Structure 1
Amino acid sequence: MSGRWWLLPGTLCTAEVFEPLLGALAVSPQQCRSVRLDRPAVEDYAAELASVEDEDIVLGFSLGAILAAHHLDRMRALAAVLIAANPFADTPEKSAARLEQLARISVEGPGAVMAAAWPALVGPDARENPAVGNRIVAMAEQTVQDLPAQTELALRRPGAEPMLASARSRALFITGREDPAAPPDRAMRAAAIGRHELVLVDGAGHFLPLEAPRACAEAIRAFLLGRGQDRS
């Protein structure tokens, strides 16, 4: 783990979403570079991600993992870890839900909307942990100005199937079995493209880095050591 860690957080998230996971991996902040999701198109990130080097690790969560998947055919990373990713183009229902979220937040504010929404996004254990919810709400309040660009990015992106098939980096998908936003069947489909690896985490929902940091860290260590295996 001598290279940099490129952190691509998700919608309404800061790089703080990765802190428990990075702590479990003993990765220091000095080793990390965060990519802010504040631009509306996949290609808007091409120049920044062109700086990824052979020994670097790309760590993406949710929309950040989707963005990373769309650049797998170009990035020279040692590995890409895609957490809670659904790298396929949105269904009409998913697109409608994104637009509804944007409209609600513009009226009610990010704190109120995410305070009501987060329990349905996490697994049963995390629902009993208010610290998880507090962190999700705080991140949303810090990043709400980027939500219009993030929504457009999610709506406009193509599916990442060609990039998964011709990836230059090994990819590990980690998904919670209870994830309603990026269901496990999508991760299973995506991992099969290009024969990437997959770990499903029991009892966890969408916010895996906060809910199950040790399970994620264990999967990443095994993957980077070449011992990763499909645990589906």
Structure 2
Amino acid sequence: MDLPLVLLHAFPFDARMWDPVRRSLAARLRLITPDQRGLGRTPLPETDREPSLDDAARDLLALLDRLELDQVVLGGCSMGGYVTMAMLRMAPERVGGLVLVDTRASVDAPEAARNRRALADRAEAEGVEGWLAETMLPNLLSGDAPGAVADTVRAQIASQPPAGVAWAARAMAVRPDSSGVLAEAGVPALVVVGERDSLTPPDDARAMAAALPESELVVVPGAGHLTPLEAPEAVSSAILNWWERI
């Protein structure tokens, strides 16, 4: 496949989370890893609209237009997967393939949505340094993740703008179910999940793979929710092997 590969990062991170994967893929593929709105170096636009991942998808469409890319293979980890599915709803003709990593098509349960809104309120009131990483870390990595990986996670989370964190949390809380969108995708898809992912577990990945008409599922042994950081070699190999087959 000659299309570029666009990979969208998880919450609450920025494009740096793909750096370990980028080192393996850059020589083989044209890889694009943008920061999403309000996170990393991308500012949060001023708007009166309620937070919605549709706006993040519009940001991506604008980026593809600036780069003069009519179609890409699009993928993402966790929140990046949610934005990928929003893009698939909005402009399916721009998506020539899917890479869905540690994400899911279903909506949040009511308690999970409430927790996201509470997190957003606290980020706005207190900032994010310290408490956010320590709150999230147990669910992001397996217990066997190297200390250096945990340090990277802490540092990247602590560096995020509180307003962007709050916006993204509220947008995820109201995202729609995307199972039907996946069923109508009609493009090759790779689904990757950590064996020990407690946030979007393997059963969620299997449900997405079953919904997609043309899909491949890879379960990464021993990894948690952030496989691109915890097991970048396995993620890179899964992408390259799938890419060669399609």
Instruction: Output the TM-score relative to the length of structure 2.
Output: 0.80
> Separation in 2 of the partners of 1:78 and 1:28?
18
Gaps of 5+ in 1: 228-232
Post-superposition offset of 1:42: 3.0
| 1:19-62 deviation per Cα after TM superposition (whole angstroms, max 9, x unaligned) | 101112235998424151447213322363373533x3323111
Tell me the equivalent position of 1:217: 236
Tell me the equivalent position of 2:54: 43
Tell me the equivalent position of 1:230: none
Tell me the equivalent position of 2:47: none
Identity of aligned residues (%): 29
Tell me the equivalent position of 2:222: 203
Does the CA-based 8 Å contact 1:9-1:37 persist in structure 2?
Answer: no
Post-superposition offset of 1:2: 4.5
Tell me the equivalent position of 1:71: 87
Cα distance, 1:29–1:103 mapped onto 2, change above 3 Å: farther
AA aligned to 2:13 is C
Does the CA-based 8 Å contact 1:84-1:174 persist in structure 2?
Answer: yes
> Separation in 1 of the partners of 2:126 and 2:148?
22
Moved more, 137-146 or 35-44: 35-44
Kindly report the root-mean-square deviation, in angstroms, between the aligned alpha carbons of the 2 structures. Answer: 2.5
Partner residue of 2:108 out of 65, 79, 90: 90
Instruction: Output the TM-score relative to the length of structure 1.
Output: 0.85
Gaps of 5+ in 2: 39-43, 45-50
Tell me the equivalent position of 2:181: 163
Cα distance, 1:214–1:180 mapped onto 2, change above 3 Å: same
| 1:62-116 deviation per Cα after TM superposition (whole angstroms, max 9, x unaligned) | 1111110232351433322111102211111211222233344445542312442
> Separation in 1 of the partners of 2:58 and 2:125?
33
Does the CA-based 8 Å contact 2:196-2:222 persist in structure 1?
Answer: yes
Tell me the equivalent position of 1:188: 206
